[in-house]
Amino acid sequence: MHHKKACMPSSQRTKIESILQGSNDQLFPKSLLINKRLPAVGVTPHVKNGGWGDIRDHELCKSYRRLQ
């Protein structure tokens, strides 16, 4: 909330609480029905060269930790 005029936190709080109360059923439903299953996405393989995905970087980090 960025204000250029007078800031009135109490009125903003009241406004937000009113919105949340009106949306309570949508935000917190009493029940939830899932009617479609999507396939699980596999983990992407490690990057061969460079980046944190490179297994060699993991081993290098572990070796630094052993030196401490």
The chain-wide mean pLDDT, for the chain, equals: 81
Say what the pTM is.
Answer: 0.37
Give the span between the Cα atoms of 32 and 18, in whole angstroms.
Answer: 24
Of 13-17, 45-49, 52-56, the poorest mean pLDDT is in 45-49
Per-residue pLDDT for 64 more than 80? Answer: yes
DSSP per-residue letters across the chain: ---SS---HHHHHHHHHHHHHHTHHHHS-S--------PPPPPPPPPSSSSTT-HHHHHHHHHHHHH-
Distance from C-alpha of 1 to C-alpha of 8, rounded to nearest angstrom: 11
Write the pLDDT tens digit of every residue in 17-39. 999 999 988 888 888 888 988 88
Query: Token pair for residue 46?
Result: 């490690």
